[in-house]
Amino acid sequence: MDDLILHMRGISKEFPGVKALDAVDLRVRRGEIHALMGENGAGKSTLMKVLSGVYPRGSYTGDILVDGHVRAFSGIRDSERAGIAIIHQELALVPELSVAENIFLGNERTRGFGLIDWGRTAAAARDLLRRVGLEEDPTAPVAALSVGRRQLVEIAKALSKRVRLLILDEPTSALTETESDNLLALLLELKAQGITSILISHKLGEVTRVADTITVLRDGRTVETMDTAGGGVEEDRVIRAMVGRDLDHRYPPRTAEIGPVRFAVADWTVDHPTQAGRRVVDNAALEIRRGEIVGLAGLMGAGRTELAMSVFGRSYGRYVSGTVYKDGRPLRVRDVGDAIAGGIAYVPEDRKELGLILDDDIRRNLTLAALGRVSRATVIDPAREAVAAAEMSRSMRVKSSGVLQPTGELSGGNQQKVVLGKWMFAEPELLILDEPTRGIDVGAKYEIYLIVRRLAAEGASVLLISSELPELLGMCDRIYAMCAGRITGQLPGPEADQESLMKLMTQTGA
């Protein structure tokens, strides 16, 4: 008999119109790293929210056994008392407060009467930061930290509550490779200290590397639990369990015919929006042909998003110089309206903040960027809009209860499909994709690749920004590399490999 720290038994949870969890079973052994995998919308986050009391007792059915005793949590505080801490897909730190204040938020070190004991706070914070391997001044505001470091602060916060079971919901999806590696190493270290972790991730590589057990959910049900102890699990087996079929190729084959140069950016220079004189894009130039998928590689901070957003109607930073050409003629892109009129579409990296209006339904989100297509003389034709939205939703294979469902209720992958669909609906000639598969499951990734390929085959040009080199290598006809705001070189797709790209991506100074 295994020593189970957690046993979730027959958990079911319904939202209006959706059965998110259907009698799910999850057994977590003490001291292991347990990975939870599954397609977007499979119910992973929901299951963890049930466990941590975000969805309190009474809002689900089934039993939660912690250390063999049935527990029913009434809220996050309640589950924290039982030693369970969750770090959400969206981080929950207060940016204006300091690192130490965030760590002890709601759990302050006091001298009684609610007076904060700053000395003890700072000392305890320093200890915790050392434990997570973060060398940071505890009085620094969280706003000044990178995402990777914030993640560590979250973990320190969890440790301060004497956590025994740590839940991480897609902790690495926004991290660089090194940051991810550090985080995973930390998880292993915590494991050595006896802390059990549940890790949700779409990155197969990291899961097979650190997890002791993998549980796969599909459509709100437990499909399979695999033990990696006896010699590792093949990635293909996990994929099969997740998607329900074999995926022969991770990348669909190229079908597009590459034509003449369609879009060109020349002499593009942009300054930081608030720090005058700080170059974020320096004299960048690139060309994209008809039907071509061009990659843009770079480390965090290389200026890829800045380049893309400033080209997209100067929506980032302070424009200094540069011209966008379309078919050899200068194109006016002074604001987003111009850019859209010029056939450019930009799918942002941060879909919740920048891509979607979460309160609005799928239909309204899909048509927002091209309202002209469903209206006449500014009057929207509701029938045309409903039909167009339903069609787009179907062709993007968005999993929802209908086009009237608010996008805030969709799972991450389906939200991404809606953002993509919105720009497909605008019928772009140049589609800029910024980390389009971040936080997306393997099956949905493949579908997104198919959509991009289809668009290219229809003659559009695609600029693909990605931090995942295999994705760039698998999808692109040509890859530019950026470093510190400059374009440091380009490689034709067939000749590129991770090493040569990495060299260009880290080539500072010219």
Partner 1 sequence: MEAIRELLRGNARQYGMVIALAVIVVLFQILTGGLLLRPLNITNVIMQNSYVLILAIGMMLVIVTGNIDLSVGSVVAFTGAVAAVLLTDVGLPVYVVIPLALAMGGLIGAWQGFWIAYVHIPAFIVTLAGMLIFRGATLIVLGGRSVGPLPDSLRMWASGFVPDVTPDGPHLLTLALGAAGAAALVWIQWRVRARSLRHGLPAPAAGLTAAQSAATVVVVMLFAYALADYNGIPVVGLLLLVLIVGYSFLMKSTTIGRRVYAVGGSEKAARLSGVKTQRTTFWVFVNMGVLSALAGLVFTGRLNAATPGAGEMFELDAIAAAFIGGASASGGVGTVMGAIVGALVMGVMNNGMSIIGLGVDWQQAIKGLVLLAAVAFDIYNKRRLGFGRGGGVPAFLRSSRGRPDGPPAAQAEPPEPPERPEEPAAAPGRGR
Ligand X SMILES: Nc1ncnc2c1ncn2[C@@H]1O[C@H](COP(=O)(O)OP(=O)(O)OP(=O)(O)O)[C@@H](O)[C@H]1O
Residue of closest CB approach to Mg ion: 45
Pick the closer one to Mg ion by CB: 269 or 407: 407
Q: Is 409 in the site for ligand X (CB under 6 A)?
A: yes
Q: Is 140 in the site for partner 1 (CB under 8 A)?
A: no
- Residues in the interface with partner 1 (CB under 8 A) total 79
Contact 234, 204 (CB under 8 A): no
Stretch that binds partner 1, among 36-44, 226-234, 260-268, 344-352 (CB under 8 A): 344-352
The interface with ligand X within residues 14-73 (CB under 6 A) comprises: 15, 18, 20, 38, 40-46
Pick what 95 binds: ligand X, Mg ion, partner 1, none; C-beta below 5 to 8 Å, kind-dependent: partner 1
Pick the closer one to ligand X by CB: 289 or 417: 417
From candidates 112, 378, 495, 510, binder to partner 1 by CB under 8 A? 378
The interface with Mg ion within residues 45-104 (CB under 5 A) comprises: 45
Stretch that binds partner 1, among 205-213, 222-230, 298-306, 442-450 (CB under 8 A): 298-306
Strand partners, 39: none
- Smallest distance from the beta carbon of 75 to partner 1, in angstroms? 8
3-state secondary structure of 475: helix
Closest listed residue to residue 356, CA positions, set 317, 400, 296: 400
Residue 33 carries which side chain, given as an amino acid letter? I
Closest listed residue to residue 158, CA positions, set 214, 120, 105: 105
Pick what 340 binds: ligand X, Mg ion, partner 1, none; C-beta below 5 to 8 Å, kind-dependent: partner 1
Residue 68 carries which side chain, given as an amino acid letter? G
Q: Is 216 in the site for ligand X (CB under 6 A)?
A: no
- Smallest distance from the beta carbon of 228 to partner 1, in angstroms? 31
Retrieve residue 75's tokens. Answer: 């809220």
Q: Is 406 in the site for partner 1 (CB under 8 A)?
A: yes
From candidates 259, 408, 459, 470, binder to partner 1 by CB under 8 A? 408
Cα 101–chain centre separation: 27
Pick what 379 binds: ligand X, partner 1, Mg ion, none; C-beta below 5 to 8 Å, kind-dependent: partner 1
From candidates 65, 147, 223, 261, binder to partner 1 by CB under 8 A? 147
Q: By rule CB under 8 A, what string of x and - marks binding of each residue 250-289 to partner 1?
A: -----------------------xx-----x---------
- Smallest distance from the beta carbon of 207 to ligand X, in angstroms? 13
Q: What distance in Å separates the CA atoms of residue 105 and residue 95, rounded to the nearest whole number?
A: 12
Residue-wise burial string across 348-381, b where 16 or more C-beta atoms lie within 10 A, e elsewhere: bbebeeebbeeeebbbbbbbebbeeebeeeeeee
- Smallest distance from the beta carbon of 301 to partner 1, in angstroms? 4
Pick the closer one to partner 1 by CB: 337 or 459: 337
The interface with partner 1 within residues 45-104 (CB under 8 A) comprises: 49, 54-56, 59, 75-76, 88, 90-93, 95
Number of Cβ within a 10 Å radius of residue 325: 15
Closest listed residue to residue 182, CA positions, set 133, 118, 122, 243: 133
Q: What distance in Å separates the CA atoms of residue 60 and residue 46, rounded to the nearest whole number?
A: 10
Tell me which long-range contacts 141-147 makes (C-beta under 8 A, separation of at least 24).
141/95, 141/96, 141/97, 141/98, 141/99, 142/93, 142/94, 142/95, 142/96, 142/97, 142/98, 142/99, 142/102, 143/95, 143/96, 145/99, 146/179, 146/300, 147/91, 147/174, 147/175, 147/179
- Smallest distance from the beta carbon of 418 to ligand X, in angstroms? 12
Residues near ligand X, by CB under 6 A: 15, 18, 20, 38, 40-46, 409-413
